[in-house]
Amino acid sequence: MNPKIYPRKNDTQTIYLSGVIKSKNIEVGDYTIYNDFVNDPVNFEQNNVLYHYPINNDKLIIGKFCSIACGAKFIFNSANHTLNSLSNYTFPIFFEEWGLDVKNITKAWDNKGDIIVGNDVWIGYDAVIMAGVKIGDGAIIGTRAVVTKDVPPYTIVGGVPAKTIRKRFSDETINKLLETKWWNLPFEQIKNEIQNIMNGDIDSLLANQNCNILAKK
């Protein structure tokens, strides 16, 4: 766990997100960054995680080494209005007015589940991720995209609603990347592999990782 909040000197617009999360229903992996040049990024929970009411107990789970741009929003289930009712009006929320049981307040919305973001995901400026969406490792979410459906690993999506633009790599390379799970390597090992990661040399990365595994046996 990296205890730092600010990864760069004299830059208060970019934070390691895990260092500021307080909600028990939000989990963020190491080295995931959030940048905000409009608001204080420390207020991410307040400004970017919306309708995330504790009564619903839904979760936001974000992996390691993600990059989240300014204004990205995660909109949770309590923003929904149930479609099972004859009315769009959220009667259960105003239980006192209508003499309803407070225990049934969550019937006001349809519960689509948690938002789960994989590792090494880039979420672009002002993008919106809706409740129940799962984003695979290495995916890219385009600027101002509205993501309503799951995104496969290493896939670029964009638009409203977000649609697949293309895969980042061949299926063979994607499978190798998912096999390496480089984001789970120890800090020093990642440092040793930085050039392979940055240069796109998946074969060297995988070969070195296999050598390290064999060396430990």
Residues 73, 81, 112, 144: which is the catalytic one? 81
81 is known as an active-site residue: yes
Rg (CA), the chain: 20
Indicate which residues carry an active-site annotation.
81
